[in-house]
């Protein structure tokens, strides 16, 4: 690899980014708006400092918050010819140091890391006589995590000032008791949880000057990404790493502070100039990601914030499609219309991986998954487990290594990978249902997509590519539409984004019977983050009621109203859903679809596809099913697509049960749209006629 020269590195930057890259001494704070190229700026800063000898690569530490972000930074530095800089998350950096120094700290073996604290907290709660349900147990776990990153012991949270800082999941005295019992269980069983890794590292650095000195000799220059998400414990660790030195560059955006519930605070970013008088400050406001109209909407939303520290973005690409803001009759109507629009983008050639549907809470995804599946649209849910740590991926790569050693591969790389994965139980057909089976299928399908993208490689070369991606945590993505919560969408971007459920009590989110959200400002920032994930097309929507035929009690989100969307796509107060088919108006007038057996209203998407209640009897013909399924598999093979993209299992089942005899009757079945009718209508009716 040819290492770019120092000057060549700088030529790739705009004036604002160049100001970051050339600010190499003393404290530096970079206020970087969404899509302004902050990662480009700070990686070029590191590379430039190393190239001109201002910094030593081996003594530089860059920290961020996710393995994915760290992998992206490592990859960019590698492209710039820098390979010796340590780029890690706070936790991985602390764990590495803790393992190294452990023999000096304790004579005991290194504690086992606790992968999940839920079960142990459950034991602790039971030992204290505190009875909690599974959902409350998860919230109690979050309470304990918050206390630890806030550096509060069990007794500390009972102090008045701390008690009032959080909406506790249960009585705060019970939280304190369970917290103390949980810590006792950790100690007795020789375990450390995620937060303890930082706490014990901080304790070692504070109590052992020799260890602190050794760490400070190892690292001289620090870069901290996403500084608005730093919590008190991480900030304390950073202070101990740097000692009395001020060679630290922090990067963040107050408007993207969306994890306050975990203990994160933007106060350290806002107060950086006070903590480091004379610090260099650079603002990045040129937005390269989003089109002009999307930037305008983002600016109008963030302008509502009470703080003056928010950045107003400047669109580099002024032109673009105007974001749409639409009201639908109900959540089912909204999901179906979003799915129809996604199908339209796919039919026009947009890749599925370039589309995302975002929502405030995970429960909103159910109707979406059903509606997208009914149209043969592959989806992937954003998860938290690292791609290359998943058991199925480790197994698949092991099998691919075996195939490479055998040297028997002769065909295209995509087919060779498919062959290996089929032996591991993978099928091109999307499995029924969700859960672990679906997640496994999605993971393996991402490997298939990667192989197709690298058609010129052989198996050995593909293994090398996977090894590099594993080192940098650069996971491949399946060619599927992403469904993600607004929180999990942070740090990502797509060509086309749909944000659903933008109504009061969903955005901002209001829990239970409360009248107001816990933190309106944070909810506003969350909406801003969602908007700025979109590069070219943005569609915002909300529904007037929860279920078909329900009372229209919802109203548009206050964030939309304040943003004055009349200039975007019309009045929010319109009583007629814009842009929908006449059939949807008819559906709203008649209410939910009726079961063809018992006449009751159908609520779930699978029931509406089948046209009957799940418990009602059906006219199912195994002969008809097998005939249609054989035809479907043949079509999938001829078209070189998964079988579910021809017709999904639910749609095929509905065809078998309803037995349509005309094109008009076939069109009434959900999942059989105009494109399916044109491609398969006559063939399906022909099979039904002879069976």
Report mean pLDDT in 10-residue bins for the chain, 691 residues. 64 92 94 94 94 93 90 90 92 94 92 88 93 80 92 88 74 93 94 94 95 95 95 96 94 91 90 94 95 93 80 88 90 90 91 92 75 79 60 84 74 83 79 56 76 75 76 60 90 94 88 70 93 95 82 85 59 35 36 71 62 71 83 78 67 84 84 76 89 79
Print burial letters for 477-497: b (CB count within 10 Å at least 16), e (below 16): ebbbbbbbbbbbbbbebbebb
Tokens 């089109």 -> residue: 291
pLDDT of residue 345: 93
Q: What is the pLDDT of residues 1-53, one digit of tens each?
A: 445 566 777 888 999 999 999 999 999 999 999 999 999 999 999 999 999 99
What string of H, E and C letters represents the secondary structure of 92-118?
Answer: HHHHHHHHHHHHHHCCCCCCEECCCCH
Beta strands in 45-200 (DSSP E): 60-64, 86-89, 112-113, 191-192
pTM of the model: 0.70
- Identify the sign of the CA torsion 452, 453, 459, 464: negative
Tell me the DSSP string of 388-457.
Answer: GGSHHHHHHHHHHHHHHHHT---S-HHHHHHHHHHHTT--SSPPSS-HHHHHHHHHHHHHHHHHHHTTT-
pLDDT of residue 389: 67
CA distances from 474 to 67, 312, 471, 484, 546 (A): 9, 31, 8, 19, 39
- Which tokens sit at 285? 């406001």
CB atoms within 10 A of CB 210: 8
208: left (phi over 0), alpha (psi -120 to 50) or beta: beta
- Which tokens sit at 323? 């974001």
Q: Classify 479 as helix, strand or coil.
A: coil
Pairing of strands 60-64, 86-89: parallel
- Which tokens sit at 473? 């945590």
Closest CA to 280 of 48, 19, 59: 19
Sequence-distant (6+) residues with CB within 8 A of 615 are none
Q: How far apart are CA 450 and CA 466, in angstroms?
A: 9
Cis peptide before 138 (omega within 30 of 0): no
pLDDT of residue 422: 85
């Amino acid at each position: 690899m040819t290492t770019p020269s120092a000057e060549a590195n700088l030529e790739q930057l705009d004036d604002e980014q160049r100001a970051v890259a050339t600010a190499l001494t003393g404290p530096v704070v970079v206020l970087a708006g969404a899509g302004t190229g902050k990662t480009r700026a700070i990686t070029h800063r590191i590379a430039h400092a190393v190239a001109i000898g201002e910094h030593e690569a081996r003594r530089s530490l860059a920290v961020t918050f996710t393995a994915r972000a760290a992998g992206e930074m490592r990859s960019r530095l590698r492209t710039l010819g820098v390979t010796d800089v340590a780029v890690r998350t706070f936790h991985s950096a602390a764990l590495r140091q803790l393992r190294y120094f452990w023999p000096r700290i304790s004579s005991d073996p290194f504690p086992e890391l606790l992968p999940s604290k839920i079960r142990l907290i459950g034991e602790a709660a039971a030992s204290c006589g505190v009875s909690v349900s599974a959902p409350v147990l998860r919230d109690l776990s979050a309470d304990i995590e918050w206390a630890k990153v806030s550096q509060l012991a069990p007794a500390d949270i009972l102090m008045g000032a701390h008690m009032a800082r959080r909406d506790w999941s249960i009585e705060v005295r019970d939280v304190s008791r369970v917290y103390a019992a949980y810590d006792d269980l950790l100690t007795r069983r020789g375990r450390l949880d995620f937060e303890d890794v930082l706490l014990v590292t901080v304790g070692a650095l504070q109590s052992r000057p020799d260890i602190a000195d050794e760490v400070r000799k190892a690292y001289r220059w620090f870069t901290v990404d996403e500084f608005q998400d730093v919590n008190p414990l991480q900030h304390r660790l950073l202070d101990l790493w740097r000692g009395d030195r001020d060679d630290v560059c922090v990067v963040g955006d107050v408007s993207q502070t969306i994890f306050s519930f975990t203990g994160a605070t933007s106060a350290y970013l806002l107060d950086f100039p006070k903590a480091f008088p004379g610090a260099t400050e650079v603002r990045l406001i040129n937005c390269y990601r989003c089109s002009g109209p999307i930037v305008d909407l983002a600016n109008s939303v963030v302008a509502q914030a009470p703080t003056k520290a928010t950045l107003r973005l400047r669109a580099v690409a002024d032109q673009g499609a105007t974001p749409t803001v639409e009201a639908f009759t109900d959540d089912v109507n909204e999901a179906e219309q979003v799915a129809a629009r996604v199908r339209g983008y796919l039919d026009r050639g947009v890749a599925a991986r370039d589309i995302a549907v975002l929502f405030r809470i995970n429960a909103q995804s159910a109707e979406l998954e059903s509606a997208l599946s009914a149209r043969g649209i592959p989806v992937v849910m954003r998860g938290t487990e690292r791609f290359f740590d998943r058991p199925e991926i480790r197994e698949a790569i092991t099998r691919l290594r075996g195939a490479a050693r055998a040297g028997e591969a002769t065909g295209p790389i995509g087919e060779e990978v498919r062959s290996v994965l089929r032996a591991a139980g993978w099928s091109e057909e999307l499995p029924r249902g969700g859960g672990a089976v679906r997640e496994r299928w999605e993971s393996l399908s991402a490997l298939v997509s990667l192989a197709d993208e690298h058609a010129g490689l052989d198996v050995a070369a593909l293994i090398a590519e996977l090894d590099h991606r594993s080192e940098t945590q650069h996971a491949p993505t399946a060619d599927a539409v992403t469904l993600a919560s607004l929180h999990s969408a942070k740090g990502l971007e797509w060509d086309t984004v749909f944000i659903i459920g933008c109504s009061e009590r969903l955005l901002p989110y209001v829990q239970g019977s409360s009248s107001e959200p816990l933190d309106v400002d944070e909810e506003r920032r969350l909406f801003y983050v969602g908007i700025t994930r979109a590069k070219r097309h943005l569609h915002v929507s909300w529904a007037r009621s929860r279920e078909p035929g329900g009372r229209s009690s919802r109203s548009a989100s206050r964030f939309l109203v304040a943003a004055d969307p009349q200039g975007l796509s019309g009045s929010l107060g319109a009583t007629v859903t814009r842009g929908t088919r006449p059939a949807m108006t008819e559906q709203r007038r008649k209410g939910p679809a009726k079961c063809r057996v018992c006449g009751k209203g159908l609520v779930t998407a699978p029931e509406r596809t089948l046209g009957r209640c799940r418990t009602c009897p059906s006219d199912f013909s195994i002969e008809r099913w097998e005939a249609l399924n054989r035809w479907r598999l043949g079509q999938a093979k001829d078209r070189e697509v998964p079988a579910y993209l021809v017709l999904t299992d639910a749609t095929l089942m509905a065809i078998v049960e309803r037995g349509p005899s005309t094109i008009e009757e076939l069109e009434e079945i959900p999942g059989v749209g105009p494109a399916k009718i044109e491609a398969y209508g006559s063939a399906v009716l022909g099979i039904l006629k002879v069976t």
